[in-house]
Chains A and B, each alone.
Chain A
Amino acid sequence: MMLNGFLVVGALLFALGATGVLIRRNAIVMLMCIELMLQGANVTLAAFSRYLDDQAGFVLVVFSLTVAAAEVAIGLAILVALSRVYPVVNVDQLDSLSG
């Protein structure tokens, strides 16, 4: 059945994004990997919505797009503000709060 195929794609995209957040140290690339995780969740939501004959999943994808846009705007603004003080993007070097 086709639903399983869509679910596999969604799961793989989510796992790739989670792996990227874990292994990449560049803050901007980590934000992109979070976007990849959201894409995987969107595929799953849309597939279930289609095969359950329901519109709620599609509506949730619309909200997910909205939240992704807001998240990226705030995340990149924080990075730009941070880069004025510490010109690094490697998250391992941003450890001033770790005592």
Chain B
Amino acid sequence: MCVAHLASVVQRSRLRNSMADNLETTVAFWYLAIAAVGAGGLMLVARNPVHSAISLVIVIFHVAGLFVILGAGFLAVAQIAIYAGAIVVLFLFTLMMLDMRRLPEERVTHRQIWLGIPLGILLAIEGVVVSVGTPEISASIKGAFPPATVSDLGGSTQALAVALFNEFTLPFLGASVLLTAATIGAIVLARRVEAHEQADFPQAAEGSSPVETPAEPALEESAR
């Protein structure tokens, strides 16, 4: 009886470890959660867009840490490679190309702030209430990949691959088509109009250099 009880306790604690509920993961979770949300808040209040981009990198790294706690190491690496390595670098390149110093400063207070902040707080309260009220997941609705199956397959990356290349093959191919279309679209949108093509675009042909066409205020005055 005592041995059976001990065995059940050991089994339960092992189960709890597999559910990522022990002390180290709890501490790591709290650190990652507070740092991610705090960096997200810093991103909102930073005046300089470069500081916002750096805060976004901090959020991305801490969310990658949360993915590690959730047992998705591949997603954490993909998150850092794609977000921190590609997306934020793209943001920084664009900030560099647009040359923010020539542009007028962003006004901190405008009329939308008085509606935006209460709505944001309302959304946060709503989300937290729903999240805290989410009931514990019963065993009857659990999926086909319990921790034992995942370790039998050889790890979380293999389990992800099994799902991705069996059940989700068609969406995967669709994602590759989307990326190709986005690449072509970005190149077409961002390229300069060449001189011999300017006959097709009369507006672009008016100024000698498209960069130095009159700014918005001049356009507004001519409209008035």
Query: In whole angstroms, how far apart are the Cα atoms of A67 and B54 in the complex?
Result: 21
Query: In whole angstroms, how far apart are the Cα atoms of A84 and B215 in the complex?
Result: 10
Q: Are B142 and A76 in contact (CB under 8 A)?
A: no
Q: Are B213 and A85 in contact (CB under 8 A)?
A: yes
Q: Are B72 and A29 in contact (CB under 8 A)?
A: no
| A52 CB contact (under 8 Å) in B67, B130, B141, B181 | B141
Chain A proximity of B66: nearest CB distance (Å): 6
Chain B proximity of A72: nearest CB distance (Å): 5
**A58-B160, A80-B190 are contacts. A36–B43 as well, Cβ < 8 Å?**
yes
B10 within 8 A of A: no
B7 within 8 A of A: no
| B179 CB contact (under 8 Å) in A5, A25, A66 | A66
Q: Are A74 and B123 in contact (CB under 8 A)?
A: no
> Counting chain A CB atoms within 10 Å of each CB, which of B87, B146, B215 scores highest?
B87
**A7-B131, A69-B179 are contacts. A22–B112 as well, Cβ < 8 Å?**
yes
Chain B residues with CB below 8 A from A58, complex form: 72, 75, 156, 160, 163
If over half of B's interface residues share one DSSP class (helix, strand or loop), that class is named, otherwise mixed; here it is: helix
Query: In whole angstroms, how far apart are the Cα atoms of A17 and B123 in the complex?
Result: 11
Chain B residues with CB below 8 A from A23, complex form: 44, 112-113, 116-117, 120
Contact with A along B141-180 (1 / 0, CB 8 A): 1111111000000001001101110011001000100110
Using C-beta atoms within 8 Å of the partner chain, give the interface range for chain B.
35 or more
Q: Are A54 and B168 in contact (CB under 8 A)?
A: no
Chain B residues with CB below 8 A from A20, complex form: 43-44
Chain A proximity of B52: nearest CB distance (Å): 5
Closest to A52 in B: B143
Where the two chains meet, the residues of B that have a C-beta atom closer than 8 Å to any C-beta of A are 19-21, 25-26, 29, 33, 36-37, 40-41, 43-44, 49, 52-53, 56, 59-60, 63, 66-67, 70-72, 75, 78-79, 82-83, 86-87, 90-91, 94-95, 97-98, 100, 102-104, 106-107, 110, 112-113, 115-117, 119-121, 123-124, 126-128, 130-132, 134, 136-137, 141-147, 156, 159-160, 162-164, 167-168, 171, 175, 178-179, 181-183, 185-187, 189-190, 192, 210-211, 213, 215-216, 219
- A31-B91, A90-B106 are known; give 4 further A-B pairs, CB within 8 A: A8-B128, A19-B124, A62-B175, A88-B104
Where the two chains meet, the residues of A that have a C-beta atom closer than 8 Å to any C-beta of B are 1-20, 22-26, 28-29, 31-33, 35-36, 39, 42-43, 46-47, 49-56, 58-59, 61-63, 65-74, 76-81, 83-90, 92-94, 96
